[in-house]
Amino acid sequence: MLTTIEQDLSQLFGQAFEANDLSFDFGATVRCTRPELGDFQCNGAMAAAKQGAGNPFVTAEKVAASLADNDLIKNIEVVRPGFINIFVNEDYLSKKLSRFSEDTSFGAAEDLSKTKVMIDFGGPNVAKSMHVGHLRTAIIGDSLQRIFRFKGYDVVSDAHLGDWGTQMGMLIEGLKKRQPDLPYFDKDFTGPYPEESPVTIQDLETIYPEESGLCKTDDEAAEKARKATLELQNGREGYIALWKHFVAVSIATLKRDYGELGVSFDLWKGESDADPFIPVILKELEEKNISVKDQGALIVPIVDDEGEKIMPPLILRKSDGAVMYGTTDLATLYERVYEDNADIVLYVVDGRQQQHFKQVFAAADLMEMNKRTTYEHTYFGTVNGKDGKPFKTRTGGVMKLHDLIQMAKEEARKKLAASNFGTDFDDEEKEEIAHKVAISTLKFADLRNYRIKDYIFDLEKFSEFEGKTGPYLLMQVARIKSILRKAGEVNAVPGTLQATSDNERALTFKLLEFVTALDKTIDKRAPHFLCEHLYNLAQEFSSFYQKQHILKEADEAKRASLLKLSSICLNQLEVGLELLGIETLERM
Ligand code: ARG
């Protein structure tokens, strides 16, 4: 595996401490926070002094003296009370970058293919079109699946469609009212049922809200919907055939919306797929005395070590026999643990479902699923409007995802025109640019915030070409591409990296921080660390380019080296953006 500069230096300084009869661990070196003092620093002499090693300044001097002539080091300084500041050698630095840049993952990937990570995200519902509430799970979940896969994990993503609850009964009853003669409702019908769907997604989107509204006020309608749901779940053939149409019609629309966002799933399983596991878990919960009867319902009490109730119980079955969202989730987890053999299951689901997952996970712990698998609610905050309340349309309605994307595109077109970007391109390219800028706007604005925080949706700000935005990064990528293109026109191409000059130093160090940023992202399941890295990298390139006129450089070997550095930077930006699910542009 490639070693980082920190690792090389820590090794070197560790050995130097050891040579002075002190622990190897004191050699740990870290990046210097003040670049004028050094690139790296080692504070081990002070730590050693605390453990009785004597005057830290003397220790530091001894260690420093023994390493002064080392090839890795350009200059070493000891500062009272015992800091060791290190400037690394330019040649070593460029070789290091060279090696990392030859690796397709910049040194980040490992063989983790034996660790299976299942990522549950998206969670769209049948018959309901996606709205702004589905934005974050799609963006964060997709980015995490890309990042975990890149790192080397065996990743399986699942959309976990909401396809099994009472809303299904409502749709069945709603359709029966409108088209009572369909064969699906005729118990004597022997089939086969028609292959063509009796409903479109528009039909479903009209029927569902009407029926759901009705069921809130009309007990008889609610009872009918509940019964139809139960019949469906018990396998009534006509209902199953009808339900399959509902699901297929919905998935087609969902795939269109996710496709627009550039988000995909390995599995399109749904809540219904957990159904066969429900009797299995109910049996185990009963046998292990985990579930109890409570006023006709079946529940799992959630208690602490002292037996005190710490939150409402997980309801497995209501007194009318209906199973709940939590039951389905527990059964799904059971399948993921015992059938899919997942090592880690991440639920990228809204933070407002925290209690739900605490209940499900507490029950799973009691069943000892945690002995085999780690499960986490990788939750996120709410997208708010400027009034601080969940984001709505101007008229106060729920904002559809499709409309939101159109809005972002409209804003992108406006900003592109105002900045005079691509005004002479043909319409097709203009449209592609607007689309990619829009998607980068939405995704970067979401991912750059720590996921558990709420954020305020401000399309105007998010789509600026200045500041920490997706469009800014796309512009920087296009800019480097244009530099390389212009160089190509005069036959100047990237060559071998030369020893790093002062102008290139900061950019080189930034490029070498990729692995750290990626690992932190994985560790915290939080892509904002990667966003931060990419933004800083783009800025570092800008200041490098300002100081260093690449195309005017007369020395050919030097120019080839500068172009190489630029192309490495371009490559890392593109790889990084792809991990965020953001597509780049050739020019703009
Ligand atoms: N369909 C659910 C909803 O719209 C989200 C599902 C999230 N995943 C899960 N395993 N519960 O709220």
Mean pLDDT in each 10-residue stretch from start to end of the chain (588 residues)? Answer: 92 97 97 92 96 95 95 96 96 97 96 98 91 94 98 98 92 96 94 94 94 94 93 93 96 93 97 96 97 95 92 93 92 98 98 97 98 98 92 85 94 94 91 96 97 95 96 97 96 95 95 96 98 98 95 95 98 98 95
Distance between CA atoms of 320 and 334, rounded to whole angstroms? 24
Residue 375 in any domain: the answer is: no
- Predicted pLDDT at 286: 97
Q: Same domain for 78 and 224? A: no
Distance between CA atoms of 138 and 144, rounded to whole angstroms? 10
Does residue 125's CB lie within 6 angstroms of at least one atom of ligand 1? yes
Greatest distance between any 2 Cα atoms in the chain? 95
Q: Same domain for 84 and 208? A: no
Residue 24 in any domain: the answer is: yes
Does residue 337's CB lie within 6 angstroms of at least one atom of ligand 1? no
Does residue 162's CB lie within 6 angstroms of at least one atom of ligand 1? yes
Residue 334 in any domain: the answer is: no
- Predicted pLDDT at 342: 98
Q: Same domain for 432 and 558? A: yes
303 CA from centroid of ligand 1 (Å) = 25
Domain with residue 13: its CATH number is: 3.30.1360.70
User: Per the structure block, which two tokens stand in for 583?
Assistant: 């597509």
Q: Which of the listed residues 214, 246, 261 is the one where a domain comes to its end?
A: 261
Residue nearest to atom 10 of ligand 1 (CA): 329
Does residue 347's CB lie within 6 angstroms of at least one atom of ligand 1? yes
Question: Which of 327, 353, 354, 377 gets mutated to test ligand 1 (max ligand atoms within 8 A of its CB)?
Answer: 353
Residue nearest to atom 7 of ligand 1 (CA): 123
Residue 147 in any domain: the answer is: no
User: Per the structure block, which two tokens stand in for 536?
Assistant: 């800083």
Does residue 165's CB lie within 6 angstroms of at least one atom of ligand 1? no
52: phi > 0 → left, psi -120 to 50 → alpha, else beta; which? left
| Beta strand segments in 383-527, E | 383-384, 455-456
Q: Same domain for 450 and 574? A: yes
How many domains are contained in the chain?
3
Q: Same domain for 170 and 51? A: no
Residue 307 in any domain: the answer is: no
Does residue 163's CB lie within 6 angstroms of at least one atom of ligand 1? no
Task: Please state the pTM of the whole predicted model.
Answer: 0.95
**Dihedral (Cα; 108, 113, 115, 117), 10-degree rounding:** 80
- Predicted pLDDT at 323: 87
316 CA from centroid of ligand 1 (Å) = 17
Q: Same domain for 170 and 82? A: no
Residue 123 in any domain: the answer is: no
User: Do 3 and 512 meet the contact criterion of CB atoms below 8 Å apart?
Assistant: no
- State the residue range of the domain holding 171: 166-261
Does residue 141's CB lie within 6 angstroms of at least one atom of ligand 1? no
Q: Same domain for 177 and 80? A: no
User: Do 62 and 20 meet the contact criterion of CB atoms below 8 Å apart?
Assistant: yes
Residue 281 in any domain: the answer is: no
Q: Which of the listed residues 200, 230, 261 is the one where a domain comes to its end?
A: 261
116 CA from centroid of ligand 1 (Å) = 21
Q: Which of the listed residues 195, 230, 261 is the one where a domain comes to its end?
A: 261
Q: Same domain for 433 and 565? A: yes
Q: Same domain for 450 and 562? A: yes
Residue 290 in any domain: the answer is: no
Question: Which of 118, 125, 348, 375 gets mutated to test ligand 1 (max ligand atoms within 8 A of its CB)?
Answer: 125
Does residue 94's CB lie within 6 angstroms of at least one atom of ligand 1? no
Q: Same domain for 433 and 549? A: yes
- Predicted pLDDT at 485: 97
Q: Same domain for 183 and 81? A: no
Q: Same domain for 77 and 186? A: no
Domain with residue 436: its CATH number is: 1.10.730.10
